[in-house]
Chains A and B, each alone.
Chain A
């Protein structure tokens, strides 16, 4: 190994490049920008302002944030639903006036007055909602019109009753509590805002109606086509916004007792700034209540702190304007470039030194020499199968296979001419095995380990395992369950090929040459799963070796077959059985003569082997070249290899022409025939094995022994 190889090897071992891409896939990365801004501004202001972090100062600060937080949350909900509410400033002023009118002038008790005021504000929201939601007017113009109208209404009321409503203020403890009350030293109005934030967050993230709001904002058309009542949902968002604004207006009235005409003027701009700054995307779909609260906090912090510097007038609007510009620009650029950035950095190749490449030439004399034996295999389900990755047989010899459409198909014995959908699962079924009771176990990509009983009942056995500490990708969820086998005690060992890619990107995982996959054990006694063997390169082809304590598995991209002891004195040990396959091994199955069949889904090529030692080259390729042009494994040629438990390769079967069985992902020997499956093939093959046991059924190796 030369020095540059060594550097590449150590670099890819110790610098976790893949983390960058994984962080970018996270939802919370959207919030990172405002959070950083939040922390930076707190640090900056506490350095610049002497009493900034004193207790009194903080309480004072929070007391002034309560109302803005309420309004911003309302604005955020409307934005999430794909609209905008400019009328909040006017509704706020209306609530302020009405509260003062009810409490001061009419001398109603506050507990009676407040719900009425808030309900009236809700009515304003209803007007907006009906106009924008049901009549489908443009949100911007409509709420602009209601802004003018409600503001005129407030001005009119103020003109006639403005002086009267502030002449007296009620002598009520409740009222004083609203204005200056604290709970454990915490200002009441901010506490109320926090409680409301929690409630709204639960509503938006845990309840059906809340989901509808974001669905409508994300895509109105899709939401409509999915049966969501778009109009009602949009209407609702405006009502919620107006209600929250109403609450804010009430708190404002209690705090300041001010019936000035300038109450709430320009509030819509501030709330909008806060909502967007927090990371709520204009246009809808993306956003959350914590983001809104965070945005409101930052904006209030800025305006309040700037006020404490003795600055000329104008500093505040300048700051608000610049923050809004910065926030929207960041939001726009981030939305536009996140996926570009992600697609550039997500593929993160590591160093891998492939084993020597053995020749498969027909005259090479190796056991891998290409022949044309599979040419004669008869087709089953020609042009009916799509995505047949594996095959299984029930006690009546019916053949089962998966399909790309999320079905398990059943071909009727003995001629396998008629086909039916045995079960619809949803995800693409990969490894299939029958247990002793005649239930079909299936590894389903994107879903996990499932069992389908004879009565076609679908039972989920496992879709999560223990989460790895410090893993950024949430690896507790199963993304790519691939193949499985039964241990004698009923445990199921199954492989998850990769935790970084979904099935449609499976070949991209080959570029990384990193141990992204793992082997998981599901225990029926506890109905729980645990990862037993992490960090394997596309583990695949689980197959019990027959000694009740070890199994064979293939590491596809490493072109090797390993043996893993899950029990017994060597428990935990992994030993390489075949280190140097000329192709990429997939499923491993038992043969009637006590050996093992392994499928090769594709063949290694010198170019890719060379590239494996050049992670930098592969990274540049992934970043700069369109993915259609990448060097991929050659999956247009494959074959079947028989080997024994010691790793001696016995024979190989090929379709040299490549037009019938170009790719082989699995095979199963059943009653004298070898059945061949390839996930991209248009047929299942049936190859008569010369001299094989005509009664052989691999299930008997598992279940008859115990009987």
Chain B
């Protein structure tokens, strides 16, 4: 059950890191313009939103759950904020409203999972549909919402550069530091790790497991919301059809690739960073090579598959040890 990070054993994180370095070197040598400072910044920038979502997803996964609604929360709540702002609400008030509703979504998710005991996969899958449907019906009238003129200053902030680093990279790194500190130094963070490792043990030692699960999903929902705001600041619009895209799978890819175990308790921020880095290098290299977008998806899928196959050899399961209902 516990973390299998023996000194002799190669972890998935190390494999992926090695792969990243390998690709990095290969691209630097073969691709013109890859190893330019500007490009390297673009590389990180292009995956920073994915990375932030990955951090939110990691919180859910490490606590032995999953949040398939994170992209929907991000999209619909941000679209709502933009829509409110577009209809005259001051941008900060609108953002506060979005923050509150995102927190409510997190609470609903947490209650469904912790108290109603619906498996996280299905609770979040169903809630993604509910969030989209509800927002689309009641909150957001348009498929595509632009940042209104009243909030155009956010565009400046989103596109600005601090000390030579694009702002959304700054956001990503500070978020990563925040989540790392959460897991390392705060009580709820330690509790989550322990619950993810062994929920029964966690309950026996007196951790308030159910409230902690609620907290976990509030955290992931709010992270999603934050990622959405950063995205809107960057590109100036929010397309609600993003909900139907495979983005949430990309987020899982980033998290799992880095070696965060889906059965919880294993991994942390470092793993997300490693996973994000690999995807970033890949995407960037493929865009430079003008690989069609569709093929990029194929390659990402194959990499995910390889990662879980490798994981199954590193951490084998068999009929005697696998848990019932553990899909």
Interface residues of A (CB under 8 A from B): 82-84, 131, 135-142, 144-149, 151-153, 155-156, 159, 219-221, 223-224, 230, 265-266, 269, 272-273, 276, 282-284, 311-322, 324-325, 328-329, 332-333, 336
Contacts and interface: CB of A to CB of B under 8 A. Distances in A.
B118 A325 contact: yes
B7 interface: no
B292 interface: yes
A631 B15 CA distance: 65
Contact of A315 (B122, B123, B137, B298): B137
Nearest to A84: B327
A329 B130 contact: no
Nearest to A312: B137
A325 B300 contact: no
B307 to A, nearest CB: 9
6 contacts: A137-B312, A145-B308, A147-B301, A224-B319, A314-B136, A317-B132
Nearest to A220: B319
A707 B325 CA distance: 66
B320 interface: yes
Nearest to A127: B305
A701 to B, nearest CB: 57
Across the A-B interface, the 3 shortest Cβ-Cβ residue pairs: A318-B133, A314-B136, A283-B325
A329 B122 CA distance: 10
Interface string B100-127: 0000000000001000111101110111
A156 B292 contact: yes
A142 B253 CA distance: 11
Nearest to B312: A137
B133 A148 contact: no
Interface stretch (B168-176, B197-205, B231-239, B244-252): B244-252
Contacts of B128: 321
A452 B7 CA distance: 65
B137 A313 contact: yes
A330 to B, nearest CB: 10
A144 B252 contact: yes
Given A148-B297, A313-B137, 20 more contacts: A82-B324, A82-B325, A84-B327, A131-B305, A136-B312, A136-B316, A137-B309, A140-B327, A141-B304, A144-B249, A146-B305, A156-B295, A159-B294, A312-B136, A318-B130, A321-B133, A322-B126, A325-B112, A328-B122, A328-B123
B70 interface: no
A332 B117 CA distance: 7
Interface residues of B, number: 51
A144 B126 CA distance: 17
Contacts of A219: 324
Contacts of A314: 132-138
A203 to B, nearest CB: 23
Contacts of B309: 131, 135, 137
B256 interface: yes
Interface in B66-82: none
Contacts of A317: 129-130, 132-133, 136
Interface string B241-267: 000101001001000100000100000
B322 interface: yes
B173 to A, nearest CB: 28
A137 B262 CA distance: 12
Given A140-B121, A141-B262, A329 B112 contact: yes
A312 B325 CA distance: 38
Given A83-B327, A156-B292, A312-B137, A145 B126 contact: no
B125 A324 contact: yes
Best-buried of B298, B308, B327 by chain A (most CB within 10 Å): B327
Contacts of A152: 294-295, 297-298, 301
A272 B244 CA distance: 16
Given A135-B309, A148-B301, A156-B294, A328 B133 contact: no
A266 to B, nearest CB: 7
Nearest to A154: B294
A583 B121 CA distance: 58
Given A140-B327, A313-B136, A324 B126 contact: yes
B318 interface: yes
A149 B319 contact: no
B1 interface: no
Nearest to B320: A221
Given A136-B317, A141-B304, A319-B133, A266 B112 contact: no
A97 B127 CA distance: 31
Interface string B278-311: 0000000000000010110110111011001100
A315 B133 CA distance: 6
Contacts of A266: 244
Given A156-B292, A266-B244, A321-B127, A284 B325 contact: yes
Contacts of B112: 325, 329
A435 B320 CA distance: 50
A319 B125 CA distance: 13
Nearest to B302: A149
Given A220-B324, A224-B320, A321 B294 contact: no
A136 B318 contact: yes
A597 to B, nearest CB: 52
Contacts of A220: 319, 322, 324
A312 B304 CA distance: 37
Contacts of A145: 301-302, 304-305, 308
A515 B123 CA distance: 47
Given A144-B304, A318-B137, A155 B297 contact: yes
